[in-house]
A and B are shown apart, each in its own frame.
Chain A
Amino acid sequence: MDAIGEQSLQWFAAERVEAEPDLAALVHDYSGLLYRVALSLVRNPSEAEDVVQDVFLRVLERKRELAAIVDLRPWLVRIAWNLALDRCRRVRPRQMDDLFAEALVSADLPADQALAETERIRQVLGAIERLPGKEREALLLSAMDELSSAEIAAVLGRSESSVRSLLFRARAHLRQRLDN
């Protein structure tokens, strides 16, 4: 009887934990990834932080649905991606490319090398911006180490082979554009 009672208590406790996940733990675990995903699109640190904050606000609104979500990471990345796309429509990323490229260059480099590196990164960012939508998404998401190809496929709603094909074509197109 005691065993049954303990099992029931554990079950209720587990259900309670499932129904109300710890938001602080979620923020701690996924904020970095979501920030990088958002930054790859909006290319502005403060905008990316706003996107991450909006993601967790959405999570707070759908707190009851969290227990039913099997894999949280693709779900959160998809939300961040869509929110970043919405923000990109309002803020033109090209205006931020220069500052963003400067921020990406290592501060240890000499000034002339840093300038050349900044210019090269700015060109690459411009070329990425002009890629077809799906190829650009696959390429940027593949930059995130935390995401496997299966998770990228889940975020994009495609198969893994399709994602690999997109990545290959994205690189080919990017080379062509940088050549031109």
Chain B
Amino acid sequence: MKNKPLNHDDAIDKTLAALKTAAPPEGMDARILQRLQQQPAAAAPFRWRDLLTGSALATAWWRGALSGAATAMLLVGTLLLAQHTLRTKQPVVSQVATARNLALAVVPVTASAPNSPARATPCPTLLRVTRAVPVYRADTLPSASFAPSHPAPVLPLTAEERALVRLAQTADPKLLAALEPETQAKLAAQESEDFNKFFAPPPTPPQPSDNDSPTDTQENRTAPQQGEQI
């Protein structure tokens, strides 16, 4: 019985030694190498991890991927820019003119008299309402609404304006000139002077002498009566 464990250990060692010394079959290396040479190199499975390595294929792949990504980004940027431009060129609905944001455009107009080139004094300046111009607040409108625009068309004249124009074209220049304040002031002064001269108190008559006839006295008395009648 004492030899039994030894025998088991001996059997275990012999078995393990047999495994240890097992020789490969002859020509195994050659067969394996032949099989490896027949294996195509392209048979390696595709792995994404290989794309990250520095081989030539990976470099080409990365180059293509980067250029594709750059092209895609350029296209997307161009599309976004085009959309933004189209959106800003569309008319703004909120630009409807309301009574609140309308203002009257007042344009100074100088009345001209075509038949009076030698006029010394300028014609009176008139204010003409041309049209109603919408006035927008700068902070409520997009910047595109401040784009340069064409001048507004001239609106038709009002009745008063037409009357003034007709007067300037047809009336006597002397009469028109009399409308000037200075001329009117001169005329008023002249008229006042004439009036005062006409209604001025008569000069004191000299003391009648004894030689004066009674008929002269009668004439001097009747003269004011004639002026009153006039």
Contact = CB atoms under 8 A, between A and B. Distances in A.
Contacts of A117: 14
Interface stretch (B5-13, B90-98, B195-203): B5-13
A31 B35 CA distance: 14
Chain A at the B interface: mostly helix, strand, loop or mixed?
A: helix
Contact of A104 (B4, B5, B19, B45): B19
Given A32-B24, A35-B22, A39-B22, A61 B44 contact: yes
A134 interface: no
Contact of B39 (A57, A105, A140): A57
A49 B45 contact: no
A96 B4 CA distance: 27
Indicate the member of B5, B15, B44 with the most A CB atoms within 10 Å. Answer: B15
A35 B24 contact: yes
B31 A124 contact: no
Nearest to B20: A143
Interface string A113-137: 0000100110111001000000000
A35 to B, nearest CB: 4
B35 A144 contact: no
Chain B at the A interface: mostly helix, strand, loop or mixed?
A: helix
Contacts of A60: 36, 39, 44
The size bracket of the interface on B is 20 to 34
Contacts of A128: 15
B214 interface: no
Given A64-B50, A175-B9, A52 B36 contact: no
Interface string A19-40: 0000110011001100110011
Interface of B: 4-5, 8-9, 11-12, 14-20, 22-25, 28-29, 31-33, 35-36, 39, 43-45, 50, 53, 55
15 contacts: A24-B33, A31-B28, A32-B23, A35-B24, A49-B24, A52-B24, A52-B28, A53-B31, A57-B35, A105-B18, A120-B11, A121-B18, A139-B16, A143-B19, A171-B12
